[in-house]
Structure 1
Amino acid sequence: MTTIPSLYTWAGGQEALEKLTTVFYAKVLKDELLEPVFRHMSPEHSKHVAHFIGEVFGGPPVYTTEDNGSHARMVAHHIGKALNDTQRKQWIKLLLESADEIGLADDPEFRSALVGYLEWGSRIAVINSNATENPINENAPMPEWGWGVPGGPYQP
């Protein structure tokens, strides 16, 4: 492989991420631990989250341009929600189950990057959910997540 694709491309692009979040949030709404947190989410919530993940994973800036989002605005959705580690772990479990269910790339390097991002992002969400003010400036850049070490998709 001469060029290393972005995580966004390797995952299957926007279509795959939107399928992932659609399947995932359907599970969330049936989960007794998470449903109360997401009970009042907008009908567009799963698509916005897919756009956010896509942008973070190196895709086009759909979240910031079409959804008028930013890193600060994503963080703002978590302020005051008082999330806990049990909810965080369940959130990750359901998301990974959804990834398996839709056939998202399952090579070790991609899944390592995905799990690393989910661990990082969900722990940040718990911290921010217990804050009273947004710690992120509106002008802060969007996070960027890559392959990490050793870098790139698995090549036997």
Structure 2
Amino acid sequence: MQNTDVPTLYEWLGGIEALNRLTVRFYEHVRADALLGEVFAHMGADHPAHVAAFLAEVLGGPDDYSRKHGGHPQMIQHHLNRHLGQEQRRRWVGLLLETADELGMPDDPEFRSALVGYLEWGSRLAVMNSQPGATVDADAPMPKWGWGEVKGPYTG
């Protein structure tokens, strides 16, 4: 039986408002970053909100990204043929965590380890899906990340 008193990661971090603050500030930093700025030079003004909605769903929030933007297959689609590398991936993860610190997001070890776990997993998947020959599985389920457990397209 699941303990319903345990908040989701989404609830713990403060919901969609906190994620929107995070992604807006993060992509301001990204635009100014020597390594990442060019990768995201053509991103639309709605990009931070889309990423916030995606993270919200992954971390246990509403399924708005899947309903409005096509779910995990659509996120994978955005990474095809981008030729991302490990240096860019590491910088993206590091900059997101720095931004979370800047904004005073929860920094307790349990939450941060779960967040870092997802960011490492998701960013490595993004790099894999950005390489030549990568394809999109139209049935790929949205990953669901929690407190020390994961259910996603590669975990069953």
Question: Does the alignment reach a TM-score above 0.5?
Answer: yes
Q: 1:2: how far off?
A: 6.7
| SS of structure 2 residue aligned to 1:126 | helix
CA spacing shift, 1:6–1:132, aligned 2, 3 Å: same
Alignment of 1:4-153 (within 5 A): 4-65=6-67, 67-134=68-135, 136-148=136-148
Could you tell me the TM-score, scaled by structure 1's length? Answer: 0.90
Cα distance in 2 for residues equivalent to 1:69 and 1:45: 14
Measure, in 2, the Cα distance between the counterparts of 1:23 and 1:148: 27
Normalising by structure 2, what TM-score?
A: 0.90
User: Which deviates the most, 125-134 or 108-117?
Assistant: 125-134
Gaps of 5+ in 2: 150-156
CA RMSD of aligned residues (A): 1.4
Aligned to 1:153: none
CA shift digits 1:73-125 (9 cap, x unpaired): 00111110000011011101110010001111111000000000000001111
What is the alpha-carbon distance in structure 2 between the residues aligned to residue 119 and residue 31 of structure 1?
20
Taking the aligned partners of 1:137 and 1:127, their CA distance within structure 2 comes to 13
How much identity, in percent, do the aligned residues show?
A: 54
The number of aligned residues is 147
| Deviation of the 1:69 alpha carbon | 2.4
CA distance in 2, matches of 1:70, 1:15: 20
Between the aligned partners of 2:31 and 2:43, the Cα distance in structure 1 is 10
Structure 1 unmatched runs, 5+: 150-156
Q: Paired residue for 2:154?
A: none
Spell out, residue by residue over 1:36-94, the C-alpha distance to the aligned partner (whole angstroms, 9 max, x if none): 110001110000000000000000111112x3221010011111000001101110111
Which protein, 1 or 2, shows the higher relative CO under an 8 Å CA cutoff with sep ≥ 6?
1
The structure 1 segments of at least 4 consecutive aligned residues displaced by more than 4 Å after TM superposition are: none
